[in-house]
Every structure is written in structure tokens, then in C-alpha cells.
Amino acid sequence: MRPRIVCPSAEGDFTELFAAEPLRSRLAAIGEVGLAPDVPDEAELVRRVAGADVVLLATHLPDEALLAAAGRLRLVSFTGTGAASYVNLDLARELGVTVTNVTHYGDQAVAELTLALMLAAARDVPAGDRAVRAGQWAGWSGRELAGSRLAVLGFGGIGRVVARLGVALGMRVGAWDKVTDPQAMAAAGVEPLGWAQAFDADVVSVHLPLTDETRGMITTAELDLLRPGSILVNTARGEILEPGALAARLARGDVRAALDVFDPEPLRPDDPLLTVPGTVLTPHLGFRTPAALARMAEGAVGNVEAFLSGVPRNVVV
């Protein structure tokens, strides 16, 4: 019996990518394919997953869906890197469900948005846009990034591209990573930094993966180390920051933050990040370019092919 492969939700427009050639033919060659035409409610999502052997996942997967599919579901092919934010990995392991992810598809896209956020915060681009639209023509001084110090937290794929862009811009770049690679850093023109030392910079850019170890890793103590006038950029995961700590630091009015990720997402209407001074906010769009999305979809389908051929790759659990 051919496996049933489903993408249970059209969230994120991935069904359009999977429905286009050559991905549709590749999926059809290995199983019966069901691509959702809509974004279902939770009950319908659970129903769709319950009838699947393989799930192409681009949305949150409720525990109820995993439990409903127990005994049949074999693989969740997540269309991204941070599967832990969308799938209960412990429950998947308990049920014998393999979870795979896709890495490095968005390194360039996220790094470029990181640079855009740095520049937007340094020159207060959003305020300038609002002023012109309101008929105002009073300028203000911003800051140049060339010559300033950039600290990159996490020297993985995205962090390395950000470091390269910072060097090209004329910034003095340092990086912290749990596993320091001095040779790679030296080759990139990057100085290894200690954890506390990294927060004594003009721009601190977060590129850590979300794990049990990194959840809440940036606390009030680290944020208190930020020098006046500095900018914190986060295009990684909102959960890496201690809840409420960044809003409290921004309320003092002497640092800025440029954020593409939050906890929770979307932001609640009463979230203080919406009203504290000195923020530039975007709706988790770092990876959203046509090229990055195509690489992501290709990777997710490749993971299904590899799993069904008996040589799974990119396994999270």
C-alpha cells in the first residue's frame, strides 16, 4: 500500500510550492498526495493528520493530532529548522514518529533582513517614513554602522553570513558560540568573544537555535550589560529572551531593538513591545523570499524521499 503524504494546512503558502512541478511529481512517485486547499481549524487539522503516513508540516501540530495518528504516522517532515517550536518532540519520540527539518535554506535571506533591521534601527527609518507620510519634514541624526562593533551570538550558517555582511559594511565584528571555531572566525575576520563580552557592543545580533539550553538564555542580567545607544537585533526566536526582560530594558529609553521574532507570535495587542520606545518590528518574515522558500520546500520533499527509501536524513527525533 502506497503511503499517504499530506500537507494538512495551506498556511505559509507551501501547498502551492508542493503542488508545482517538479515537487508534485516527485511526491506522487512515492505516495498518495493530499494538499490542503485551506487553513483548517484544529479539529479538521487533527482529522487530516490522522489519515496520514507522512505529514509535510508548515504549521503548529497539536498533540491531539499526533495522538490521533498514533500507529500510522511515520514521519513529520517539517518545512523549517526549529521543529521544536511546532511539534512536541518528546511525544513524537514516544509514539515512534520521526521528525526531520530543513537547515540553511534561509541563511542569506535571514542575514539580509538582519542587516536591514540594523540599518532601520540605526537611522530610525520607520519614524522617517511615518513623518514624511504625515507631511512633516524635520530630520534627525542617526548613526553610522561603519566602525562600530557588531557582536554575533551564534556562529552558525546565518551568523556567519551576518558577520560577513558586517565586515563588508566596515564594522568591527566579534562572535560568541557555544562551540568556538577560532580558525573559521579568523578566516572571516571575526574576533571570538566571551558571553558577557558580547553584550558590550554597538549592535548585538541574535542567531542562536532554540533549544532547552537557549530558551530564556538572554536575561535581564545580559540586557543590563548593553551600552547606551546600542541596538539589539533578534531574527532567531523570541523565546531565547527571558519573558518581559527586553521590554523592561527598552522602557529605560537608552537602547533600541529591531525584532523579527517574538514570544508569543503573533504579538498580543497589549504586548509592551508595541509601545515601548526604540523598536523596529517585522512579522517573522526573515526567511520569506521566493528563493529561500523554494529551497525549504525542496528540502522537505527530499527528506520524505530519503525517509521512504530507508536512509532518513536531517533527523531531529
Query: How many other C-beta atoms can be found within 10 angstroms of the C-beta atom of residue 298?
Result: 16
- The H or E element that residue 173 is part of is strand 172-176
Whether 93 sits among the annotated catalytic residues: the reply is: no
Q: Catalytic pick from 284, 288, 298, 305?
A: 284
Gap between the Cα atoms of 109 and 113, Å rounded: 6
Q: Catalytic pick from 16, 42, 94, 265?
A: 265
Q: Catalytic pick from 237, 249, 256, 295?
A: 237
Contact 102, 275 (CB under 8 A): no
Gap between the Cα atoms of 253 and 272, Å rounded: 13
Gap between the Cα atoms of 193 and 180, Å rounded: 9
Q: Which one-letter DSSP state was computed for residue 52? A: -
Gap between the Cα atoms of 225 and 154, Å rounded: 18
Whether 160 sits among the annotated catalytic residues: the reply is: no
Whether 207 sits among the annotated catalytic residues: the reply is: no
Question: SS3 for 191?
Answer: strand
Query: How many other C-beta atoms can be found within 10 angstroms of the C-beta atom of residue 282?
Result: 17
State the catalytic residues. Answer: 237, 265, 284
